[in-house]
Amino acid sequence: MVKIGNIELGEFPLLLAPMEDVSDPPFRYVCKQQGADLMYTEFISSEGLIRNAAKSTHKLDVFEYERPIGIQLFGSDINSMHEAALIAEQAKPDLIDINYGCPVKQVACKGAGAALLQDIPKMVSMTKKIVDSVKLPVTVKTRLGWDDKTKNILEVAERLQDIGIKALTVHARTRSQMYKGSADWTLLGETEK
């Protein structure tokens, strides 16, 4: 049985990853009909959310039939991420997910997503502030590291576990690989231990 906080998912759950411009409510509906056990919203900009931007607040829409569902947030400022997590919690998802894995230039070059893999103390501080302030389980999505020279997923996993995240999703590539090249499955196995 896989359990995230109080959420029980069965032995081999099927999860719908958060995908920008893909995992919107109609797509989530189809996935739920096809057996998805846990789904996530598209990722939401913390800055957009705290500024009440329509594009960001619209992504907070979750529906009962989607449960369990997580809202995924991304950002580079600790206080903005904290405030955004509190706003997201009011939408009544089942969990909050933090994106430390997005490799795209528009996100990483602003210090968000995978860029936080270059500043683990900030990543830990940001995550701790969110874990300590919301009543929901907090999970994290990340990558193996920034590039081949900085595959720091083992340190990241240990430090985030120590501050109370309930699950960690790891894309088995570095930020510099983007979505290309070979995934490093050996590091995933070591992270699981």
Which residues participate in catalysis according to the annotation? 102
Tokens in use for 136? 């929901």
- Identity of the amino acid at 87: I
Number of neighbours of residue 11 by Cβ within 10 angstroms: 6
Q: Which long-range contacts (CB under 8 A, 24 or more apart) does 174-183 make?
A: 174/143, 174/144, 174/145, 174/146, 174/147, 174/148, 174/150, 175/103, 175/108, 175/114, 175/115, 175/117, 175/143, 175/145, 175/146, 175/147, 176/103, 176/146, 176/147, 176/148, 177/103, 178/103, 178/104, 179/103
How far is 73 from 88, CA to CA, in rounded Å?
9
5 DSSP assignment: T
